[in-house]
Amino acid sequence: MTDLAEQRHLASDAQTTSALPDEQRTRCEVWTRVMGYHRPVSAFNTGKQGEFAERTFFRER
């Protein structure tokens, strides 16, 4: 797993080199593990979606 700064750098590089027109884009469904089950974030209620957006990623040493 890469750190957040590296992910942002990779994302900014991808946006500048291979931007797709809107008609060629498809929706990306994000899944996460909750209480031992994998669930799509789009199925969360508004409060849980907000909590998911506030999560931070870290790497344990």
Q: What is the mean pLDDT of each run of 10 residues along the chain (61 residues)?
A: 60 64 90 88 92 90 86
Residue 59 counted as domain residue: yes
Number of domains in the chain: 1
> End-to-end distance of the chain based on CA atoms, in angstroms?
12
Query: pLDDT tens digits for 31-42?
Result: 998 788 999 999
Residue 8 counted as domain residue: no
Selection from 22, 44, 23 nearest residue 33 by Cα: 44
Residue 54 counted as domain residue: yes
Residue 21 counted as domain residue: no
Residue 22 counted as domain residue: no
pTM: 0.48
Residue 15 counted as domain residue: no
Residue 40 counted as domain residue: yes
Residue 11 counted as domain residue: no
Domain range holding 50?
29-61
The rounded distance, in Å, linking the Cα atoms of 21 and 28 is 15
The rounded distance, in Å, linking the Cα atoms of 28 and 61 is 31
